[in-house]
Structure 1
Amino acid sequence: MHLGIDLGTSEVKLLLLDGSGRIVGTAGAPLTLSSPEPLWSEQNPADWWRATGTAIAQLRAAHPGPFAAVRGIGLSGQMHGAVLLGADDKLLRPAILWNDGRSHAECAELEAATPALHDIAGNLAMPGFTAPKLLWVRKHEPEIFAQISSVLLPKDWLRLQLTGDKVSEPSDAAGTLWLDVARRDWSEELLAACGLTRAQMPWLVESTEPSGVLRPELARTWGLGADVIVAGGAGDNAASAIGIGATQPGDGFISLGTSGVLFVVNDRYRPNPASAVHAFCHALPQRWHQMSVMLSAASCLRWFCNLVGADEATLLAELESKGSTADAPTFLPYLAGERTPHNDPFAPGLFHGLKAQTHRVDCTYAVLEGVTFGLADGLDALRAAGTEVKQLSLVGGGSRSPYWAQQIADALNVEIVIHTGSEAGGALGAARLGWLASGGTVDAICKRPDIAARFTPNPERHARLAPRLARFRDLYSRLRGA
């Protein structure tokens, strides 16, 4: 048996996988965000560990026999977060998360001070990345910066609790702006630009390799055997790729979670920072990937649900029963700024074109369409970087809606497929990585799950969406910098 632990932004999710690749059970525990200042997004790592313990207890109670047979653990997690540790691994402050926008000024400073940044890290400096966060801490919290002995990414802080070891891996480390992405190793030059050294970084292993073993006292508490291997694991998107079997060049998927991601596997390092496309290491040796990222995706629908006091199922049912939405307003989904293709932490979210006749269902449609158009922008950025796709898998919470899946297929003019267990996302990939680290081959373990649904683009609907997409893009261009 193999256990996947996925540290998301809104939930810690666990998944139990048996030796035939079957999902035995899942469990989860919620997390909350803190935003003490505009553009800030933080969490207390201690809450991650408490939520992990809660989910472990649930999974163990529901599946005691299979859980006790766990021999490998894999980790997946939200990328870019800065967990700052001092002496004796004491937490120095709350973790600064991937969707935090406070370090926009530091991004410009890092770009100016490090001409080789794009070549080495393969990415623009953006507020979501880890390096600008540390420059912000150095400038605004110098007393904390002076105490830093280690900087860990979120899932790697969980690993420290599990094994006592400070280890990371290339897929997650590539999102710090401190990794030489082609070499899959820390860059002394980029670390020095932030006043840091290799000694403050975790050791690196490949995602499929062992990173340590579960601490004996924890194994006893959880009722597990000795020598449970903890794999290197992966950043959430690379882990999701492993979960749906995206291992070969050209394989790709869309993740509709808190953020929206379009991910395509490459056989070599192919940076294109000019289009705000991310070039990262994949969770397999000798594999890389390109990725477009929008900061608010399915979270836009959750936000609208809270705004109007209705649940997602109710709003989607209303939308599916209405049919025509020709008079719907235009929605910009930039509730936390945007990355690809705009790299604009101040990009605004808004409804445009509201009328007295506008109903709730029209706004629901606009929210889904706005996220879909953000994905279309991301696909255009990937195409400008030389990537072409004919089919994309859809994963994450948003994959539950057939309506949304069809809209994405129509707007992007790409076939969309949903796999059995697609909602498992990074937790399934993490469990597979735990399996690989404890013995097994990629071909045998990282198979594509069965296709549960297929959505073929409709040329007529694609044509009808085209002028609305043009209006969406024009609206942002007019508001940029306003």
Structure 2
Amino acid sequence: MFLGIDLGTSSLKALLMSADGTVIAEASHPYPVNAPYPGWAESDPQNWWNAGAIAVRKAVQSYAAQVKAIGLSGQMHGVVVCDEVGNPLRPAILWADGRSHQALALYQALGAEALRPLANPLTVGMAGPSLLWLRQREPEVYRRARWALQPKDWLRLRLTGRAATEPSDASGTLMADVVAGTWAIALLEALHLRTDWLPPIVASRAIAGTLTRSAAEHLGLPADLPVVAGAADTAAALLGSGLTTAGACQLTLGTGAQITLLRDSRSDPCGNRPILAPQGCTHLFHAALPHQWYTLAAMQNAGLALEWVRQLLGLSWTDLYDQAFTVEPGCDGLVCLPYLTGERTPHLDPTPAGAWIGLGLHHTRAHLARAALEGVAFAIAQGFAAVQATGANPDTLYLAGGGSLHPQWRQLLADVLQRPLCSVETRSASARGAALLAGLGIGQDRPVGETWTEKQAILGGSATQIAPSPQITVPNSLPSALEAAHQRFAQLYPAVRSQL
């Protein structure tokens, strides 16, 4: 059996998987995210460590002696600065943290050619800008730290006593040469940022250490188990969901929305060159398997915006959907901009505000709800267009996440995107991907080899392991009123932005 541990933003999940890919058990334990100042997002890594013991013991129970290897996945972009053995010198700075916005100017001053190896837009919350903030604001901590690690890499250090990272997490730091899979040393030196605290980069499936006796006692597992490097949560989730072939594209709906397109350097027409949208608004990260990376469009305001609207209108989720879909497409001229927290793809702008525009006496609460759903769908469509601008044109999107369950909402998304949506929900996909990597690390590749075959079989209705009864939502012809609303939406963002 293989154990996958996923260190998320607000909880840690542990998943026990058999050698044939069957999930035996899973468990999770929560911990808080702290915001000591506006715009900050931090966690105490000791809470992660304690949650690991609770979740692993619940998942493994009487199977401890049968666990053959451990794999890890974790939240991306954040950073833990710690001493040689992993004692944190301050709380972890997380991906949602916005304190490093001024540090982006230091990157920009280097010029486009120097930034090219990053193959990613400059955004706050990534490790590089956060460490530049640390250098300026907490110089003593900056000086004393032995390691600057991604969250799951810190956890592995505590498990094995050895520091390492792997390409999928390193590529999301704004400190790595994404194509080469190495640290971007020349760029970091130009930023006057330390490089001696960066760990070696190993393959995601590589054995990065073995479980120490003290860590084994903490988790209730045998000592000396192989611990595989693992992958960042999105990369692990792609693997865990069975998306292992180039061209597979998934839309995940949760608090935000992400569109991920898997690419392979051996078959992609762009070869080994970075694949970016012309505007540089999509991300490019390494995937969990060799020779693969993925293009990512990240939209911040999906479930987050809809939950705000739901509460504002005093509706349950059922009532929101029921009332919204009594209104005709286009909402009788009402358009919603859902930008309550700024936006990443395609705007890379932390400052836009949300709005309902075009309000009249004839509009009702149902119109407001429908316009919000349409606005989120239009924003997702702009993210999909950014992915297409990298030279890809997937004909089907796999649909995952808790925000994709209502059938009429799925239909609206399919109509706006003009693509079939295949709803495939793999529970705890990141933890399952971590467990699959554990198997790969010790030479068990059968479950990974089967996952994409099963995913392809979904469209023929014969998949059994990943999604026993998938739902496929086929788009209707785009209603003219919905198309007109989409065009108004695209025109309103720059017009409203110019007035802020």
TM-score, structure 2 normalization: 0.86
Question: How many Å apart are 1:170 and its aligned residue?
Answer: 0.4
> Partner of 2:293 in structure 1?
288
For each residue in 1:332-361, what CA deviation from the matched residue of structure 2 results, as whole angstroms up to 9, or x when unmatched? 333332211111122323444456665555
Question: How many Å apart are 1:153 and its aligned residue?
Answer: 0.9
SS at match of 1:37: coil
Distance 1:446 1:460, change over 3 A: closer
Distance 1:242 1:168 in 2: 18
Question: How many Å apart are 1:81 and its aligned residue?
Answer: 0.6
2:249 matches 1:232: no
> Partner of 2:208 in structure 1?
211
SS at match of 2:47: helix
Distance 1:225 1:324 in 2: 60
Question: How many Å apart are 1:223 and its aligned residue?
Answer: 3.4
SS at match of 1:90: coil
**Rg larger for:** 2
> Partner of 2:269 in structure 1?
none
> Partner of 1:372 in structure 2?
377
2:30 matches 1:30: yes
SS at match of 1:162: helix
> Partner of 2:142 in structure 1?
145
Distance 1:84 1:358, change over 3 A: farther
2:475 matches 1:457: yes
Q: Is the 8 A contact 2:257 2:301 kept in 1?
A: yes
Q: CA RMSD in A?
A: 2.7
> Partner of 1:479 in structure 2?
496
Distance 1:472 1:198 in 2: 44
User: Which stretch of structure 1 is more off in the superposition, 148-157 or 16-25?
Assistant: 16-25
- Residues 79-94 of structure 1: pairs in structure 2 closer than 5 A: 79-86=76-83, 89-94=86-91
Question: How many Å apart are 1:33 and its aligned residue?
Answer: 2.9
Q: Which amino acid aligns with 1:184?
A: G
Question: How many Å apart are 1:367 and its aligned residue?
Answer: 3.7
Question: How many Å apart are 1:303 and its aligned residue?
Answer: 4.0
Distance 1:153 1:279, change over 3 A: same
User: Which stretch of structure 1 is more off in the superposition, 233-242 or 25-34?
Assistant: 25-34
Distance 1:118 1:232 in 2: 27
2:426 matches 1:418: no
2:410 matches 1:405: yes
2:3 matches 1:3: yes
> Partner of 1:119 in structure 2?
116
Distance 1:223 1:144, change over 3 A: closer
Distance 2:51 2:243 in 1: 29
Give 1:135's match in structure 2, choosing from 118, 132, 135: 132
2:384 matches 1:387: no
Question: How many Å apart are 1:366 and its aligned residue?
Answer: 3.6
User: Which stretch of structure 1 is more off in the superposition, 437-446 or 115-124?
Assistant: 437-446
> Partner of 1:275 in structure 2?
280
Distance 2:20 2:475 in 1: 34
SS at match of 2:106: helix
SS at match of 1:26: strand
Question: How many Å apart are 1:169 and its aligned residue?
Answer: 0.7
Question: How many Å apart are 1:423 and its aligned residue?
Answer: 3.9
Q: Is the 8 A contact 1:341 1:381 kept in 2?
A: yes
TM-score, structure 1 normalization: 0.89
> Partner of 1:192 in structure 2?
189
Q: Which amino acid aligns with 2:304?
A: S
Distance 1:208 1:317, change over 3 A: farther
Distance 1:343 1:23 in 2: 38
| Structure 2, gaps ≥5 residues long | 266-271, 456-465
Q: Which amino acid aligns with 1:371?
A: V
User: Which stretch of structure 1 is more off in the superposition, 375-384 or 464-473?
Assistant: 464-473
Distance 1:190 1:88, change over 3 A: same
Distance 1:318 1:173 in 2: 45
2:240 matches 1:243: yes
User: Which stretch of structure 1 is more off in the superposition, 88-97 or 450-459?
Assistant: 88-97
Distance 1:7 1:178 in 2: 22
Q: Which amino acid aligns with 2:299?
A: M
Distance 2:50 2:346 in 1: 36
2:477 matches 1:466: no
| Structure 1, gaps ≥5 residues long | none
Question: How many Å apart are 1:32 and its aligned residue?
Answer: 3.3
SS at match of 2:196: helix
Question: How many Å apart are 1:412 and its aligned residue?
Answer: 0.9
Question: How many Å apart are 1:222 and its aligned residue?
Answer: 3.4
Distance 1:443 1:311, change over 3 A: same
